Amino acid sequence: MLEKMVESKSGGAENRRLGGFLLTTATGAFFVLMFALLYSLFTYNVALAGYNLNLSALVAPVQMAEQAPPPEQATAAPKRQQQTIERAADNVPTRRDNMPRADETPVKVLDSVSVNQNQQMARPDGRFKLDGRDSNLSASAGSYTSERGGGNGAGMNDGVSNLTKASGEEGAKTVAVPPPPPIAKKEEPKAVEPPKKVAPISGGVVNGRASNLVKPVYSAAARAVRAQGKVEVQVTIDEEGRVVSANAVSGNLLLVPAAISAARASKFTPTYLSKQKVKVTGIIVYNFNTF
């Protein structure tokens, strides 16, 4: 049946060639991967994550040497203070004797009474000094009078004073100061009491009466069905006794229209409460009967 027999050939040489090719390829790929790994390790930046770290140091400021004031200013300040103290000490009234004022209570009762005019001035109410003369501060701003006159002053700041000696007559005179006028008291307006409300006294209730009570008309429909019974109608009566509204409260529906019409047409006398006309409400009962 088989004319030709196929025999498989041995492929040892071809397998060796293919194995060498695969080995070469694997070796090349291994070296390429190793080279890439080493290259990435050498080129990797191993710096810290914080790239903006700054190192700063606090440096104390250099203290500047204080400049000494000029010698003129250093000596002028104590002189001014001394002059101010001297002026303040001089700017007080002076007296020859420490004589009490007339408004003071004497500590010791005098042994005798003199009729001669006193030539000395009493001590002022405040600071003064005993200087062998009587002098007062003038009424002008900062100036005063004494016996050492010679110039006009502007007060304590410039140290120059207008001084004249006060005579004995001027020292003995007393100026009577009028008392201040009395303060007028404002009269407070009296509160007006509100009028007392008088509670109204009820004069009683006078009920109105029906002057014309209209009878309802028995309708043909109600007669046909022989409707009967009571119908209650609530009415509102004004001050003159007229019915201004009427509403059925209960009853047969066939009888309600006739009852409402009769209630609206009815008339009543006014109802009085304390002699005044008032509006009232009430209920009218209509009894319908076919017999």
Q: What is the pLDDT of residues 192-241, one digit of tens each?
A: 777 777 665 555 556 668 888 888 888 888 888 888 889 999 999 998 88
Tell whether the model's pLDDT for residue 9 goes beyond 80.
no
Instruction: Map residue 280 onto helix, strand or coil.
Output: strand
* pLDDT of the residue at 15: 83
Pick the CATH number of 205-288 from 3.40.50.720, 3.90.740.10, 3.30.2420.10, 1.10.3720.10: 3.30.2420.10
Confidence of residue 122 (pLDDT cuts 50, 70, 90): confident
Q: Where are the domains of the chain?
A: 75-103+118-175, 205-288
Q: What does residue 260 show for φ and ψ, rounded to 5 degrees?
A: -65, -40
Question: What's the average model confidence in pLDDT over 115-124?
Answer: 75
Mean pLDDT of the chain, nearest integer: 72
Cα within 13 Å of Cα(109), Cβ side:
1
**Per-residue pLDDT at 96 exceeds 60:** yes
Identify the CA nearest to 241 among candidates 277, 215, 284.
Answer: 277
* 288 contacts 228 by C-beta, under 8 angstroms: yes
Distance CA 51, CA 199 (A): 96
Residue of higher predicted confidence among 31 and 115: 31
Radius of gyration of the CA atoms of the chain, in A: 67
pLDDT for the residue numbered 226 = 87
> In the prediction, which pLDDT does 203 show?
53
* N-to-C CA span, the chain: 140
